[in-house]
Amino acid sequence: MFNFKEKIAEEIAKTIQVEKSEIVKTMEIPKEKNMGDYAFPCFRLAKTLKKAPQIIANEINEKLGKCDFIEKTEVVGGYLNFYVKKEILAQAVIEEFETKKENYGKSEYGKGKNIIVEYSSPNIAKPFHIGHLRTTLIGNALYNTYKYLGYNTIGINHLGDYGTQFGKMIEGYKRWHEEYTFENPIEDLTKIYVRINELCKEDENVLELCRQNFKNLEEKKEYEVSLWEKFKELSLSEFYKIYDLLDVKFDSLNGEAFYADKMQEVIDILEKSGKLIESQGAKVIDLEDKNMPPCIICKSNGSSIYATRDLAAILYRTRKYDFDKCLYVVAYEQNLHFKQIFEVAKLLEIDEKYINGLEHVSYGMVHLKTGKMSTREGNVIKVEELLNESIERATKILEEKNPNIENKEEIAKKVGIGAIIFNDLSNSRIKDEIFDWDNILNFQGETGPYIQYIYVRTKSVLENAKITPNAEKINTADLLEPEAIDVIRTIYNFEDTLKSVTDKNEPYILSKYLIELAKNYSAFYNNYKIISEDENKTNARIYLTYMTNVILNKGANLLGIKMPDKM
């Protein structure tokens, strides 16, 4: 497609001594439509050129040659704004769309690059609660988007299937398993976990027994291993009920336990570095010079810790996947942990490119109105219950609005789950969320159901028109109304939006884009008859509707949302 940003940057580069690539990086899309299609901020040049930004903008504007794709330029403060000719913009979008259609926005931007996305990673023998939903949805959206842009993407579910907590679970199971039926296995295991934690608080001897159980598990003692395998099997069967509802898949389920026999190599390398020291019986890497507490590699009783397993995972992934980026979609509560292991990873004798590719994609926590959730305290919202509740509420709304609708269950499932997904991905991932049923299940405003509703409207228009969208029949002069240009401009920005999602690892950028596209199309639909007596206008507007339909569907799918045919 004609790249307006590149071409404008090329023209600007002819007037000042700045590389085109640098100009492209600083160019912006104005927030207000009346400020043009692109803006070049001149503030950064002020120091170098020793002139006020507005003077620089005026000088560049005066030196610019005539561009056949630019309608006009305008200096506003320290910005030089560019207005693209509407007919050329419309033609560029239609030609590109006609070539790619359902693959519009797809590219080879990431060709030859390997991206690992580690996400979801629930703990075995614990409920899959609302906190796990965030990492699952953020990670899945990133995985889908990277893949669509041509990256070789590997999705890893790094299961929490190892650690001291299993020593506690084993101890609790030994003591109380006869009291439970395990008809709802995760529920009963959670009850046992809450009970054993309470007992550990009261009795240090019990905590020591738990530690010994984990030591036995590490040493592959038969009884402890058999219980661990049972907990894992029961848990995965429950987790996959949720993954199936969300249609989330992974390329690898290698969790912490997978790296148990790979930790010794990490310890050996760290020993060889001379940085592994003893502290109160434990083996640690001193990070005082980095203003961080020491990173524990081995506990005083010889047991490993999850930092050691994460380091073993890094070493394994460099060899297995030769990654360019390894993204960890984990809550910001683990910020210190990742800073520590990324720093210690520098001692692992691996190429610097792998160190540079390690990235903690942190996100805010989900809190109840009453405070923080905790498995130990037993106050969590279970995701399966949440999703089913949302589907039930969507069913009631559909029955009220359209009682005779066909495939009601299937539609309610798409609307209910779509509402949950969009709610989670509609704001910057770093923000904390207060979990509130009323907000999540609000079907008005900037929500998933709103995007689905506009999509269904476009689908209905296309079906009622009984006209096959045909780019050859379009005269771009029939698509120059302001509302039509708003839709076209938004469609043009689809690929750049996806690139921004991956550049910043922020799915909400795509969520906001879809709301903008839906609103722009709604304004167009409300102001103009799509099917009219003017055949040329009808063909043009049907094609605009078709493009909107495809992009809304594709964008929603990348977020993990499925579109209903009716609502």
> CA–CA separation, 132 vs 385, rounded Å?
14
Q: Check the CA dihedral 53-55-56-61 and report its sign.
A: positive
Strand order in the sheet with 282-285: 276-279, 282-285, 295-298
Phi, psi for residue 555 in degrees, rounded to 5? -60, -45
Q: Which amino acid, residue 229?
A: E
Cβ-count burial 43-74 (b if 16+ within 10 Å, e if not): eebeeebeeebbebbebbbeebeebebbeebe
Catalytic residue among 14, 20, 129, 372: 129
Residue 168 known to be catalytic: no
Q: Among 20, 50, 132, 230, which one carries the catalytic annotation?
A: 132
Residues with Cβ within 8 Å of 128's Cβ and at least 6 positions away in sequence, in order, are 122, 186, 238, 239, 242, 382, 383, 384
Question: Which residues, other chains included, contact 462 with Cβ-Cβ below 8 Å and sequence gap of 6+?
Answer: 469, 542, 545, 546, 549
The answer to whether 116 touches 80, Cβ cutoff 8 Å, is no
Residue with tokens 């909400």: 508
Active site residue 129: yes
Show the DSSP H helices in 247-382 as ranges: 263-273, 306-321, 335-345, 352-357
Helix, strand, coil % in the chain, rounded to nearest 5:
60, 10, 30
Active site residue 230: no
Six token digits for residue 316: 């394994």
Contact present, 481 and 90 (Cβ < 8 Å) = no
25, 100, 126, 431: the catalytic one is 126
What values do phi and psi take at 493, rounded to 5? -85, 5
Strands 295-298 and 79-84, bridge-based pairing: unpaired
Residue 109: Cβ within 10 Å count? 15
Q: Residues with catalytic annotation?
A: 126, 129, 132
